[in-house]
Structure 1
């Protein structure tokens, strides 16, 4: 008998309101962004109020400047995340359906795209207010993991981005014909809950390490060190989880059932790994450079 966990009966929508022919629905995915940004905002504000954490006891910005920064940051997250998903994962589809690029309520956000959007906004705003870019980046690095964790939990609730078929006892029987389309499996198909793996590694574990380095080890006094640790840590966690995660549908064929975009003999790399590998190298490079510079 298959040892697996039935998918919990949780609706992707928290609530919906019908106004005439229009239906407004608040989804867990949207709520994860809202709550994640609020948590990160309050974390950053709390860290800015402790000058002793920063080099020369000088925080990179004031609380009022942080409020202005958040407006631009949200814009960078949304635009970067959406455009990253469009360009990295489904360019052909959105080229044929350009109006759907704006329909972010249908889902489809890329962490790597959001990361690039945040980088552009952060660099521009830091120079605008005369702040040290590295210190602002470190503040964001520590404040980001809670939002990542909530976003991955929302992916699980949406029953999307599930993992490969598995026989482990914590495998989850995700609903829907796509999740149950497991070649060679005649019974119910259980899959790795890869969304929860990412929530734990990219959110809980990475966030805990960064907080410890920032608050207990004084790494805010070494600009860019926490940023390097975040980039490398996320890249390592994402690269690892991709071994258990189902590849995106457009990359899967009969000849390429695991959805590799780079083939290395019998093995290969998925798109998530291809995007994460440079993050590991860049993150480690930044971390080593920052520590040696200090």
Structure 2
């Protein structure tokens, strides 16, 4: 059974799960995100239109046939929003998982081993944090993003930069933990570096990593939306929420559903992710998971 570092089961009334479930805003946000994810994956297969279908109705306002209206080419906006949410969420999850896994691993090793590895990692982190991210990602998208896998290129390009601040955070936590008595005791009884990292240090960074994952999901969605809004992210004929917002900007007055539908979805997703992250943060803090016992 999974346990916190305090020794209580995660699902117990006093555990992280129990404390999280008592936060109604965070739970409601999590339910909303699950519904958005399920509808973006299953919805296109159930809906009468695909995101690429062209209908005779041009710039039709919302109706029973087209709940979110159509665009200037006759695309059903609901179908496009579902496709856009699917792409935006996929990019966000890849960025969150890849960058968090890489950053946590690098930060853990640099903080525990120290020496030349720590110095090298921190110099690399400093360099990455000074690079103008939008400009570099825009260049990558222009050079490599004009194909069917452009969204994957955007996701891994963002991940190549987003691991750096995570590594810095995890390194700081590891530095504060490696001199603690429980780590010294583990080394004293002959535990090797892999065992110390996996059994004694890794459980103490689960809380911060879980919060960072949610933060990076929101940040990745916002960044992807910005890139696509500027025409540097996901490229047609594919679509994303940011691309839909950008395309709808010119119709904000004449056909407002083209702008407001994807814009409100982006805002709602980002806010929901932040509420979930805040709920996780408070749940871990309330349990004092950073303290060894």
Q: Shorter-chain TM-score category?
A: 0.3 to 0.5
Structure with greater Cα Rg: 2
Give the TM-score normalised by structure 2.
Answer: 0.32
- Specify which structure has the bigger relative contact order, considering alpha-carbon pairs within 8 angstroms and separated by 6 or more residues: 2
Give the TM-score normalised by structure 1.
Answer: 0.32
More helix by share: 2
